Structure 1
Amino acid sequence: MSASEVKPGATASQSSYIPSLDGLRAVSILIVFLSHAGYGHIVPGGFGVTIFFFLSGYLITTLLTREWDRHGEIAQKAFYLRRVVRLAPPILITLIVSLGLAGLGLARGSFDLMTVFSQIFFFFNYYALYASEMATVEGLGILWSLAVEEHFYLIWPTIFILLARGRLSVRTLLALLVAILLWRMVRFFGFGAREWTIYISTDTRFDSLLYGCLLALLMWTGRARTLFPDGVWARSLYILGALVVLLLCLVIRDDAFRSTLRYSLQGLALMPVFYYAVTRPEDLIFRPLNWGFMRKIGLWSYTIYLIHHVIIKALVYNGLGREGDIQILLLSAVLSAGFAAAVYRWAEKPLHPLRRKLTGH
């Protein structure tokens, strides 16, 4: 879903564009792409995924607030139908192309029915952790993150309805955020879960989306204006403080910290960054997010995310270089963007009218 489809707090008659969000998508995919292209020692790919999670929670919740403002209810069936129409074409095309490359001997990997089933129906993160046998095309391991998102959205519309009706409060969300942090601690210190297990498990990563949802709710209710003052010095201090926290989260390499507090601190730090990026896009620091080519990359980011690692691994497998080589970086960037542009033009864009009709009202 493009960031140009909704604006927080806007009525139906107002502009529906959210500044900076497509640019933030572009930043996220660039971080992930550079990490997988062999620069992970410099660019932390996991942080790019966390930004994706936060952005997804923020955008979906903003859409729900607009639907509630217009209709006084949420059409949950239509919500899930729109998710299917949005997600299915790119992921199915990516899987077919990836398996085709492996079948032709151009990529390393093989076909396994249950693994493909887990990728299509969004339980690949747990299948990858606990299945006795698993086989997939090299580079498709990143599909774990889609499973986390879709597990979250199985319950979030219901929670949102309870919040909108006053059955739950924002304090409930804060308690849930604390509970997830404590659960990570229990899994790491009590059950001995590895950092990777916590990184890709739904039950330990819910809050990466929930912080984005919380920001959208605070903006909907007007509380965000109180929490994040608009003065230039206040904005500067908030953003500087957020960047310092994010940098510390990247610098600290202790497994216990990275498996527990890291995600909570990143979620908190991203809240002012997103708030000011959306409400003050004209600020110098946020202007690049709204450049035309950044918005275009953001528009293609979902499909680029799906295919880029497969392409990188295939290029290396065919002896065109090693991860970290400039030719691998440039060639995989061109091929990934080209693939994403084609999928958007021929598979995603034709379905936009259908998605707009699936309102449920």
Structure 2
Amino acid sequence: MRGPGSGGDATDADVSVGTRRARDRQISQVPYLPGLDGLRAVAVVAVMIYHANSDWLLGGYIGVEVFFVISGYLITLLLIAEHERTGAIDLKSFWIRRFRRLLPALFLMMLLLSVWVSLFERDALGKLRGDVIAGASYFSNWYQIFIGAGYSAGNDFAPLRHLWSLAVEEQFYVVWPIIMLAFVRFGARRIAGVARWLFLGAIVVTVVVALLDYTGAQQTPELTPDAYWMLGDRPISKPDALYLSTLSRSGGLMLGAAFAMVWRPTAVMRGPLRNKAKMFDVGAGVGFGILLVLAWVMSFDPSQGVHGFLFKGGLFLTGLATLAIIAAITHRGAKTGHLLSNPVLLWIGTRSYGLYLYHWPIYQIIRNIAANKLQFHEFVLAMVATAIITEASYRFVETPIRKGKLGELWRRRGELGRSGGAGGQQRPVLIGGAIALVLSLFAVGSMATAELKQNSVQTQLDANAELACNLATGENCDTEPDEAAESEPDPDPDPAEDIDGELPVEETPVDDPAEGEVPVESETTTVTTVPAGPTRFAVGDSVMLGALIPLQTLGFQVDALESRAFVNGLDLVETLAREGRLPDQMVIHLGTNGRISESQMERMVAAVAEVPEVVLVTNDVDRDYTAGNNELMYSTAAANDNISVLDWQGLVKACEGDCLENDGFHLKPDGQQYYADVIAFQLGIE
């Protein structure tokens, strides 16, 4: 018998081993599944609609979770297949492939954006610097959590906020292959047991997130401390951390990975499930139905506490629905994969990475700040621009680099140059390259040296917060401190002189004492009447805080806080009522930051029952609860003689000049003065 490698005939054992390996290699193959590109298309379209205007698709953000499940499935499937084909996992090659797929378009987008911001949004360069560094290192999600710049922070020009999800995926790509090195050594049969543990891990993540979630309306750390974790002196938003962190969003990745360990497309078609195509199509239909309902109704707004189901099983249900669709897509006999493989969805799906990458910066350039919602015509314009840029990036940057053709193109250019065949073509290329280089250097230099600036709204609110009155403690509640200091009584007053408006009282002689009483010497008692001080209180949120100075000029003690909800202002007013410290006139502007319940309004009415004049100011913000809040104010005023309504929602439209910030409701100087003027007119203040 000849030894191995001698070139002789193979033994029966050799044939058996070789056949088994050949079979394993076939089972381990990962065929191209166009239906998955179609599913990616559906997911990215949902996200882009949601990012444009959340009113159009309240839960469209679940498309990101669909991406996580797909990534977990495909990456795990590829790693298992590689190990079964070669007996190893080449980490270096895997990471190089990932970097070649992801980094070129990312760096190109950030470079183009940096040039734009350097030319047209220079005040945002300081903040962009941190976002670019975090984006390039795939650390965006943790960076946003740390600085408090999640999706709930809406007044910034934030063109890279969407990179958090790419950071989660890239961190998964770095860590997961290393973990898989241990798992694949268990063998194909035992790895199915690992899948059960991963599924259990996804359940544990869901339960922990539900327990950690803060379900109320999130405001500032001072107003809702339970909505934050403290990292030293830095408050960390719980909703933002749970939404953005890799750990809390790992459930979808684990579900996809677990499914890959038990569901390989080629192996499925060799087993009894190959004849169950209709069953999988029905499952996919149910999965799409679940995703549609969730995308339609599961809104996310931490400032209003609207995220309960999302963090209490919503993400897990999204993952299960996605797995049902993937099961049908990977079954060759099912129709789901064919339906998702139409040309339109394939074009979108194959370019989903670029569409996701470019759409958010383009949205921001159009609307300027994150909180603004696009109008339909703006959305159409943004989609056209996104599609054009994405296609150019896909054809001329991503695909050549991914396929290793960039070096080939560069060599061909050099050969043509040496042969003299490209002289006419090289000049425009060289000129364009020189312009691009100059702009790039200008952008990088500008960003590196830029001053870190807050947005105009935050700057104004921070400055006014230092001056605002705290009615509960009395801090900063001298409306005009300079005049108050001047009104202090002279230690040696002239009784014949009126000092600062204080009227002297004439001397009153004491009557002769009655018999038996001790005589009392006659004395002169001078009574000074101290001004009662301001009798006007203004209680509100950030809209009122912006108009702090002109309101103080009118004699108001202004207690206004950023992000204050109605219930927080109600607590303050009730405290003042219990202590007997309510004024003669009171302006209440609350309702920007959440829905007002009838019971809360009834408590407010009871608290201000002894105040002669109370003005409720309506709100002019683009929120689904605004109309209800304003209607409640009108009905309350109609039922109470001491309460009136100031229709700010209607009056603000008549403001002349540059009145509103880019978010459409915070006040610029013209708007601040106008706001104070209409309140003065309402109360008859001269």
> If the length of structure 1 is used for normalisation, what is the TM-score?
0.83
Quote the residue 1:347 is aligned against: 397
Quote the residue 2:39 is aligned against: 24
Structure 2: stretches of 5+ with no match in the other structure: 1-23, 216-225, 229-237, 300-305, 406-686
Alpha-carbon deviations, 1:259-278, whole Å to 9, x = none? 13111111112111111023
Alpha-carbon deviations, 1:46-79, whole Å to 9, x = none? 1111111111112212221221122111011221
Quote the residue 1:165 is aligned against: 185
Distance 1:227 1:153 in 2: 33
The one of 352, 365, 369 equivalent to 1:301 is: 352
The one of 185, 193, 196 equivalent to 2:210 is: 185
Matched, 1:122 2:122: no
Q: Residue type matched to 2:36 in 1?
A: L
* 8 Å Cα contact 1:37-1:329 kept in structure 2: yes
Q: Residue type matched to 1:271 in 2?
A: L
Distance 1:210 1:133 in 2: 27
Distance 1:200 1:224 in 2: 38
Q: Residue type matched to 2:240 in 1?
A: W
Task: Give the 5 Å matches for 1:178-327.
Answer: 178-188=203-213, 192=227, 194-220=238-264, 222=267, 230-231=275-276, 233-247=278-292, 249-250=294-295, 251=297, 255-280=307-332, 283=335, 285-317=336-368, 323-327=373-377
**1:249 Cα deviation after fit:** 3.9
Q: Residue type matched to 1:61 in 2?
A: T
Alpha-carbon deviations, 1:199-226, whole Å to 9, x = none? 1111100111121222222113957998
Distance 1:32 1:296 in 2: 17
Distance 1:291 1:339 in 2: 22
Q: Residue type matched to 1:210 in 2?
A: M
* 8 Å Cα contact 2:131-2:160 kept in structure 1: no
Alpha-carbon deviations, 1:29-53, whole Å to 9, x = none? 1111111222544253311111111
Distance 1:223 1:348 in 2: 33
Quote the residue 1:358 is aligned against: none
Quote the residue 2:668 is aligned against: none
Task: Give the 5 Å matches for 1:90-169.
Answer: 90-105=105-120, 109-112=124-127, 113-131=129-147, 138-166=158-186, 169=194
Q: Report SS of the residue matched to 1:139.
A: coil
Distance 1:73 1:137 in 2: 46
**1:129 Cα deviation after fit:** 1.4
Distance 1:292 1:107 in 2: 41
* 8 Å Cα contact 1:12-1:70 kept in structure 2: no
* 8 Å Cα contact 1:107-1:138 kept in structure 2: no
Please say which of residues 12-21 and 170-179 is displaced more in the overlay: 12-21
* 8 Å Cα contact 1:92-1:120 kept in structure 2: yes
Alpha carbons of 1:224 and 1:205: their partners in 2 closer, same or farther (altered >3 Å)?
Answer: farther
Alpha carbons of 1:223 and 1:207: their partners in 2 closer, same or farther (altered >3 Å)?
Answer: farther
* 8 Å Cα contact 2:97-2:402 kept in structure 1: no
Distance 1:209 1:242 in 2: 17
Larger radius of gyration: 2
Alpha-carbon deviations, 1:281-339, whole Å to 9, x = none? 761x5434211232122121111111101112212349xxx844332122111111111
Distance 1:230 1:256 in 2: 40
Alpha carbons of 1:256 and 1:137: their partners in 2 closer, same or farther (altered >3 Å)?
Answer: closer
Q: Report SS of the residue matched to 1:141.
A: coil
Distance 2:99 2:277 in 1: 42
Alpha carbons of 1:81 and 1:342: their partners in 2 closer, same or farther (altered >3 Å)?
Answer: same
Q: How many pairs does the alignment contain?
A: 343
Quote the residue 2:104 is aligned against: 89
**1:25 Cα deviation after fit:** 1.5
Structure 1: stretches of 5+ with no match in the other structure: 1-8, 356-361
Q: Residue type matched to 2:87 in 1?
A: G
Q: Residue type matched to 2:329 in 1?
A: A
**1:125 Cα deviation after fit:** 0.9
* 8 Å Cα contact 1:23-1:298 kept in structure 2: yes
Distance 1:228 1:267 in 2: 22
Please say which of residues 22-31 and 240-249 is displaced more in the overlay: 240-249
Distance 1:281 1:172 in 2: 30
Distance 1:240 1:217 in 2: 23
Distance 2:359 2:102 in 1: 17
Quote the residue 1:329 is aligned against: 379
* 8 Å Cα contact 1:67-1:73 kept in structure 2: yes
Matched, 1:74 2:99: no
* 8 Å Cα contact 1:34-1:40 kept in structure 2: no
Q: Residue type matched to 2:70 in 1?
A: L
Distance 2:92 2:59 in 1: 37
Distance 1:89 1:354 in 2: 12
Distance 1:10 1:335 in 2: 44
Q: Report SS of the residue matched to 1:204.
A: coil
Quote the residue 2:587 is aligned against: none
Alpha-carbon deviations, 1:138-194, whole Å to 9, x = none? 332100101111222222112222221118622221232222123213422697563
**1:243 Cα deviation after fit:** 3.7
**1:136 Cα deviation after fit:** 8.1
Q: Report SS of the residue matched to 2:124.
A: coil
Alpha carbons of 1:172 and 1:200: their partners in 2 closer, same or farther (altered >3 Å)?
Answer: same
Task: Give the 5 Å matches for 1:19-58.
Answer: 19-42=34-57, 44-58=59-73
Output the aligned Cα RMSD: 3.3
Please say which of residues 239-248 and 43-52 is displaced more in the overlay: 239-248
Q: Comparing both structures, which one devotes a greater share of its residues to strand?
A: 2
* 8 Å Cα contact 2:363-2:382 kept in structure 1: yes
Q: Report SS of the residue matched to 2:61.
A: helix
Alpha carbons of 1:266 and 1:173: their partners in 2 closer, same or farther (altered >3 Å)?
Answer: same
Q: Comparing both structures, which one devotes a greater share of its residues to helix?
A: 1
Distance 2:275 2:314 in 1: 27
* 8 Å Cα contact 1:102-1:109 kept in structure 2: yes
